[in-house]
Amino acid sequence: MGIISLKHTDQLYWLGRYSERVYTTLKLFAEKYDSMIDLNEAEYEDFCKKQDIPNIYSSSEDFAKRYCFDENDTNSIISNLTRAYDNAVVLREEIGSTTLSYIQLAVYAMNKAKLSEAPLLELQHVRDNIVAFWGIVDDSIDDEHVRSIIKLGKRIERVDLFARMHMDRSELKREILKLNRRIDRTGLTYSAKRMAHINYLIEEDDLNYKELVGEIEALLL
C-alpha cells in the first residue's frame, strides 16, 4: 500500500460522493422530467423538499434548466459535477490519467447537453461516463485503499440520497449492506456505534428517514 496524505484521502472520498450524487440525481431527474411532462407539473417542489435544497425555481421548465445546468446554483447537477472534477483533477497520479479521463468526458458531455435542444439525450452520456468511471476504478486502480475510499464515498452518498428520497426499504437495505462491507476496507476511522445504529434503524417498523440521514452524515470521524 502506498502512502496517501490526509488531503488525498479527503479528495478521494468526495470524488466518490460527488460522482454518485451526479449519477443518482441525474437518474432521479430523468424520472421527474418524464412525469412533469403531462402528469404532475409541480413535482419538482416535492423533489426539492426531499433533497433539502431551496426551491428557487419558478416552473418545471425553469427547474429542468437550472437544476441541471446553472453553474451559479450550488445545488445544480453541473455544480456537483464540477466538484467531482475539482476533486478528480488533483488525483491524477493516484487514480491514473485513464480513470480521470472519464470524469473529464462527463464534464464535456455536460457542457454539450447544456447547449442541446434535447438535453436528456446528451445527459445520458454524462451518466454513461460516470458508469465507465466506476468501472475503470474497479478495473485499473490496484491500490485497494484508494479504490475503497472512492467506493465508500459512493456508498455513503447513495444511502444518503436514497434515505432523503424515501426510497423503498428493500432498496435502501441493499445499499446499507454494501456500505457495511466496504467501510472496514478503507482504513478510515468511523463511528462503529453509528454504523450499528444505522443497521438497527433500517429494521425498524416505522422507518425514520430523517434520523437515518443524520446518522449517515455523521458516520465518518
Taking the least distance from each CB to other proteins, the nearer of 136 and 213 is: 136
Task: Answer yes or no whether residue 108 interacts with other proteins by CB under 8 A.
Answer: yes
Nearest CA to 184 out of 175, 174, 195 is that of 195
Task: Answer yes or no whether residue 101 interacts with other proteins by CB under 8 A.
Answer: yes
Using CB under 8 A, count the residues that bind other proteins. Answer: 22
Nearest CA to 135 out of 177, 166, 99, 107 is that of 99
Q: Which stretch binds other proteins (CB under 8 A): 59-67, 97-105, 176-184, 195-203?
A: 97-105
Write the DSSP assignment of 46-107 as a string of letters.
Answer: HHHHHHT-----SSHHHHHHHHHH-TTSTTSHHHHHHHHHHHHHTTHHHH-HHHHHHHHHHH
In the complex, minimum distance from the CB of residue 141 to other proteins, in angstroms, rounded to a whole number: 12
Taking the least distance from each CB to other proteins, the nearer of 32 and 151 is: 151
Percent composition of the chain: helix, strand, coil (DSSP 3-state, to 5)? 75, 0, 25
Task: Answer yes or no whether residue 96 interacts with other proteins by CB under 8 A.
Answer: yes
Task: Answer yes or no whether residue 7 interacts with other proteins by CB under 8 A.
Answer: yes
Task: Answer yes or no whether residue 221 interacts with other proteins by CB under 8 A.
Answer: no
Per CB under 8 A, the list member of 4, 120, 132, 136 interacting with other proteins is 4
Per CB under 8 A, the list member of 28, 48, 89, 220 interacting with other proteins is 89
Write each residue from 181 to 200 as x if it is in contact with other proteins (CB under 8 A), else as -, in one continuous string: ------xx------------
Four-point Cα dihedral 186, 189, 193, 197, nearest 10:
-50
Nearest CA to 156 out of 52, 6, 24 is that of 24
Q: Which stretch binds other proteins (CB under 8 A): 98-106, 130-138, 171-179, 191-199?
A: 98-106
| Site of interaction with other proteins (CB under 8 A) | 2-9, 86, 89-90, 92-93, 96-97, 100-101, 104-105, 108, 187-188
